[in-house]
Amino acid sequence: MSRKFGLIALAAVAAIAAAQTAGNSLLNSYGKALNDAKSVRSTYTVQTIGSAPDTYTIALKKPNLARVETPAGTVVADGKTVTTYTKADNTYFKRPQTESDMKALLVSDELNLLAGFFDPKAYDAPRTRTLGQRNINGASMNVVEATLGKKAKTYFISGADNVAHKSQIDLNDPNGKVTTIIDAKNLELNTDLPDSTFTFTPPAGARELSADEIEAGRWYTNLDEALKIAHASGKRVFIDFMATWCGPCKMLEHECFGTPEFKALGKKYVFCRIDVDEQPSLAKKYGAESIPLQVILDKSGSSVQDQLLGYGGSARFFEFMNRNAK
C-alpha cells in the first residue's frame, strides 16, 4: 500500500510541476507577444465585484510613447516628457521622462493587462498553473493562474494573438475574498497610432502646477526615501496604507487626495503610499491589517504620532490631518 501511495504522490507532484511549466510558458508567450508588438491600443473596464465598473483607455507605441486615461486623469509620455493631468482639480504637471518610467507606468493591477508591452517579464510569478481552455464570447482562451502572496491573478489568453484580453484578480482579504475583473472591450496590436496621440493638450481652464506645488504634492512609495526627505525638510511623514481592490481607499483618494486642501498639506507632510499587497512586511510592522489606514510619523520618523483607521468622509480625514500638522 505504501508503495502505491508513494507512486500516487509522485504522480501528483509531476502533475503540479507540469502545470507550473505550462503556466510559465503561456505567461512568457503573453509577455513576448506584447513586447514584440510595435503598438497596442485598448479600452477596457475594471470592476471590483460589488462596485460600478471604471473605464480605462491605453495607447502604447515603441520605443517610449504612452497615453493612459483613467477615471482619475491622464498620463502622457511623449518620449521626452511625462505629463500627469488630474481631473479632480483640473491641474497638470510635467517632468523629464526617464527609461524606468515606462515599466513603472503599468505596474498597478488596473494597468497590468498591458504591462508586458514595455516589460516582457511583467507576468513572472513564483507559482503558476494552467486551468485549461475556456470559450469566451466565441473565442478560445487559455486560462492561467499566477499566485503572488495572498493575490491570485487569472489571465484569459487568446489563442489568436497570445495576449490576455481579460483577467481576474482574487485577494483573500481578512474580511473576505475580493474579486476584480478586467475586461478588454477592444485590444488592437500593431495598429497605426500617429505620434499626435501622445501629445498632451490641456483641457479648458487647466492650470499647470509650479515646481514647488509639484514637490509638495509628490507621493513616495518607498518609506526609506520618504524618511530621508522628511529628515532633510523637517516635515512629518504621512503614510497611506491601501490596496488597489479597496473600495474605501478609492473613495479616500477621489474625495480627498486630489483636492487643493490636501495638496496644501504638502508644506507640512511628506506623502508616502504603501500598497499592503506589494509591501506586506511594512504593512505588518505598522499594524495595517485593515485598510485604509493612515499613519503619521513624528519628524524623526522613529515613532507613530497618530493614526486613523477606515474612511469616514472628508471632514473626519481633514480634521485628523490638520490636528497633526500643528
Cell numbers that stand for 223 in this block: 518609506
Whether 272 is catalytic is no
Q: What DSSP character marks residue 124?
A: -
For residues 321 and 238, the answer to whether their CB atoms sit within 8 Å is yes
Burial of 167 (0-12, 13-18, 19+ CB in 10 A): buried
Among residues 113, 246, 252, 283, the one annotated as catalytic is: 246
The full length of the chain comes to 326
Whether 249 is catalytic is yes
* Exposure class string for 83-95: b at 16+ Cβ within 10 A, else e: bbbbbbbebbbbe
Sign of the four-CA dihedral 194, 195, 200, 201: negative
Which amino acid belongs to residue 188?
E
Among residues 209, 216, 227, 249, the one annotated as catalytic is: 249
First to last CA, the chain: 73
User: By C-alpha distance, which of 63, 101, 61 is closest to 81?
Assistant: 101
Mark residue 258 as left, alpha or beta (left: phi above 0; alpha: psi -120 to 50; beta: remaining): alpha
Cell numbers that stand for 248 in this block: 474605501
Burial of 161 (0-12, 13-18, 19+ CB in 10 A): middle
Spatial separation of the C-alpha atoms in residues 316 and 268, rounded to whole Å: 18
Question: Which residues are tagged catalytic?
Answer: 246, 249
